[in-house]
Structure 1
């Protein structure tokens, strides 16, 4: 599959520079980081959340867990993890478990963890279980500029 069509369209429209890195098949973002020989703290994972108002994505390093309390406090809402069936519908051009953490490509709001801003580059799922996108730190920050961020993981 490589890059999901929706994500590819978003990257092309925004003229967003990236590198594509192929790696052995891996099921999770953490195992993808290991397979691609990428430090886990540089690998962003997207976790889809839901509340009464709709869906939002939290983007955190793959070696950390989403802190729902911190997100709920910062956003003034009460989120919980989205059901897998909803994620499958929202990201219908991606393999199960390979959600790209660029929610804007899917017209979804997002919040990202400040730990990702400390790294020289950021890796992320491209929509399958064998390809990663790599964005430079300046590109990552530019793409995330309109999204709220904070310390949302532990």
Structure 2
């Protein structure tokens, strides 16, 4: 499959230097990190949440961390729960299930990113399937999240 079409279109409209990295099929970000011989903190994951009004929020954080839902709820003042992946198929129809790229803007989704992403100079994230990652500089990744809020809302796994 390679790169998801909406992500490819977004990267075309917001050009930053990046590389695509192919790897064997994996089922999780941590498996991807092992497969590519990377520290899990270099991989970025998207956790899609849903609030009490059925609005989605994409939380973006390192694969080595987990969303602290209580902290995030307190910071943004909304009740949040994990979104059901099956419900997200339509919005992320160009992606394999569980391989959502962490660029909410490409999908018209409100996004919030964790400040811990700034501890790494380079980042990798799923391109829309379980065999391809996008590699880029952290500053370029953050630039792709234009308009997104950021704060500390994660905890170590």
TM-score interval (norm. to shorter): over 0.9
Contact kept? 1:29, 1:98, Cα under 8 Å: no
Q: Please list the CA deviations of residues 18-55 of structure 1 after superposition, one character each: whole Å capped at 9, or x if unmatched.
A: 11111111011121111111210010100000011510
What RMSD in Å do the two structures reach over aligned CA positions?
Answer: 1.1
Distance 1:39 1:13 in 2: 30
State the Cα distance separating 1:83 from its structure 2 match.
0.9
**Structure 1, gaps ≥5 residues long:** none
Distance 2:153 2:7 in 1: 24
Q: Please list the CA deviations of residues 57-94 of structure 1 after superposition, one character each: whole Å capped at 9, or x if unmatched.
A: 00111111111111111111111000121222221110
**Structure 2, gaps ≥5 residues long:** none
In structure 2, the residue matched to 1:148 is: 149
Q: Name the count of aligned residue pairs.
A: 154
In structure 2, the residue matched to 1:9 is: 9
Contact kept? 2:3, 2:129, Cα under 8 Å: yes
Moved beyond 3 Å, runs of 4+: none
SS of the equivalent of 1:48 reads strand
**TM-score, normalised on structure 1?**
0.95
1:49 aligns with 2:49: yes
